[in-house]
């Protein structure tokens, strides 16, 4: 009987020990997963805090103006002309001048640092060496920089010789506001350059370039900008930056919008008061256009068309997309 009792006690003791063990083990595992959850949560909180701490400057349209390191006079002209055309604040538009600073000499760099102290609108791209045949990389890096440093809805890339009617483009953009927008003057029938400065030695995608918005100025949505910046390592850089962007976006569901109010070809078509952007303007011409805008509210001193325009025909093959019509009212 005593033995039996002892055995029972032992069994009960063992049973409790086992239970405690399970309980303890269970608690441990619970506390273990709690710890994991807590760790994850605090990391999540930390990243949220981090995001809160470095809230990116918010703007509807980020204007990315391409210029060379030595173009400080041109940048000044732009700051004092078309960038002053809209009284809307930074919630509506902001701008940056991306500059490749890799392999830049010290004198140029110190001048740029001074300019930056004064205006705080330069974007230094340390991975970019400035050169005409490196513009596609500069564009990609500028887009990457933009997505990392600004909370924008649309990005407008223009050249330093483009004049932009900022107020008018903001207004039109609010009307379009497509989240996959790729907006500009579209060309689908251009043949690759095989000789000269812009020759593409590596082009093998097609007999023509793929449809692309001409480089004097185009708008992409934040979504498309993120697509570019998330895929930097896979992008192929062609000599022409606008051709390159057309290729990068060709695999996306971008919303191609052709707009003859983008006078953004390699030569200007003339002057039309409807133009949102007009390309190939010297600083002198920019000042004249700005003064027209100020005095009359209109872009042109006198409207004229030196080169006919076109409306892109999406119903035919790209090689037949773009028929120019003389004496038409297309801007
Ligand atoms: C810049 O270059 C460095 C070194 O090659 C590389 O690690 C980094 O990812 C590059 N940054 C971007 C944004 O391409
Ligand atoms: C348009 O006019 C130009 C010069 O006036 C001429 O060379 C060209 O053939 C014309 N194009 C069309 C489509 O009529």
Q: Per residue in 136-182, pLDDT tens?
A: 999 999 999 999 999 999 999 999 999 999 999 999 999 999 999 99
Secondary structure of residue 94 in the 3-state scheme: strand
- Whether residue 6 is predicted with pLDDT greater than 60 in this model: the reply is no
- Residue 283 · residue 77 · CB < 8 Å: yes
22, 24, 25, 31: CA torsion to nearest 10: 140
In testing the pocket of ligand 1, which one of 100, 101, 127, 136 has its CB within 8 Å of the most ligand atoms? 127
Same domain, 42 and 114: no
Give the residue numbers spanning the domain of 37: 1-54
CA of 233 to the centre of ligand 1 (A): 9
Helix and strand numbers (H, E) in the chain are 8, 14
Using a pLDDT cut of 90, give the percent of the chain over it: 82
Residue 329 lies in a domain: no
Residue 330 lies in a domain: no
Same domain, 11 and 100: no
Same domain, 170 and 24: no
Which CATH number is 144's domain given? Answer: 3.90.550.50
Pocket of ligand 1 contains residue 232 by CB under 6 Å: yes
Atom of ligand 1 at shortest distance to CA of 144? 13
CA 323 – CA 42 distance, rounded (Å): 60
User: Sign of the CA dihedral 97, 212, 162, 292?
Assistant: negative
Pocket of ligand 1 contains residue 149 by CB under 6 Å: no
Same domain, 263 and 188: yes
Residue 328 lies in a domain: no
Secondary structure of residue 58 in the 3-state scheme: strand
Residue 325 lies in a domain: no
CA of 10 to the centre of ligand 2 (A): 108
Residue 326 lies in a domain: no
Same domain, 112 and 230: yes
Pocket of ligand 1 contains residue 160 by CB under 6 Å: no
Ligand nearest to the CA of 148: 1
Same domain, 109 and 160: yes
Same domain, 109 and 211: yes
Pocket of ligand 1 contains residue 144 by CB under 6 Å: yes
150, 153, 157, 161: CA torsion to nearest 10: -90
CA 221 – CA 180 distance, rounded (Å): 6
CA of 133 to the centre of ligand 2 (A): 33
Same domain, 76 and 26: no
CA 295 – CA 331 distance, rounded (Å): 22
CA of 14 to the centre of ligand 1 (A): 62
Pocket of ligand 1 contains residue 145 by CB under 6 Å: no
Same domain, 182 and 196: yes
CA 236 – CA 51 distance, rounded (Å): 31
* Domain total in the chain: 2
Same domain, 106 and 239: yes
Can you give the pLDDT at residue 44? 46
Residue 114 lies in a domain: yes
Ligand nearest to the CA of 307: 2
Residue 250 lies in a domain: yes
Same domain, 39 and 13: yes
Q: Give 52's pLDDT tier (boundaries 50, 70, 90).
A: low
Domain boundary among 15, 35, 54: 54
Residue 81 lies in a domain: yes
pLDDT tens-digit map of 291-320: 999 999 999 999 999 999 999 999 999 999
Same domain, 50 and 67: no
């Amino acid at each position: 009987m005593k033995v039996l009792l002892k055995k029972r006690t032992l069994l009960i003791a063992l049973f409790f020990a086992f239970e405690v063990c399970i309980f303890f083990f269970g608690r441990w595992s619970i506390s273990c997963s709690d710890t994991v959850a807590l760790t994850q949560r605090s990391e999540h909180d930390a990243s949220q805090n981090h995001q809160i701490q470095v809230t990116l400057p918010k703007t509807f349209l980020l204007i990315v103006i391409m210029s060379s390191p030595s173009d400080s006079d041109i940048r000044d002209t732009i700051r004092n002309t078309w960038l002053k055309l809209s009284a809307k604040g930074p919630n509506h538009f902001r701008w940056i001048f991306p500059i490749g600073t890799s392999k830049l000499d010290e004198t140029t760099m110190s001048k740029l640092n001074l300019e930056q102290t004064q205006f705080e609108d330069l974007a230094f791209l340390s991975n970019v060496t400035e050169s005409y045949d490196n513009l596609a990389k500069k564009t990609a890096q500028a887009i990457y920089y933009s997505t990392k440093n600004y909370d924008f809805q649309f990005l407008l890339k223009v050249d330093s010789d483009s004049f932009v009617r900022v107020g008018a483009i903001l207004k039109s953009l609010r009307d379009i506001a497509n989240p996959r927008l790729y907006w500009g003057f579209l060309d689908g029938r251009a043949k690759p350059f095989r000789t000269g400065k812009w020759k593409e030695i590596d082009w093998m995608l097609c007999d023509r370039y793929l449809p692309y918005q001409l480089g004097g100025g185009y708008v992409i949505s934040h979504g498309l900008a993120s697509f570019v910046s998330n895929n930097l390592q896979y992008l192929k850089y062609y000599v022409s930056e606008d051709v390159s962007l057309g290729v990068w976006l060709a695999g996306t569901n971008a919303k191609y919008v052709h707009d003859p109010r983008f006078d953004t070809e390699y030569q200007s078509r003339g002057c039309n008061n409807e133009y949102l952007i007009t390309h190939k303007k010297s600083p002198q011409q920019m000042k004249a256009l700005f003064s027209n805008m100020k005095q009359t509210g209109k872009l042109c001193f006198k409207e004229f068309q030196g080169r006919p325009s076109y409306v892109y025909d999406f119903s035919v093959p790209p090689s037949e997309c773009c028929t120019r019509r003389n004496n038409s009212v297309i801007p």
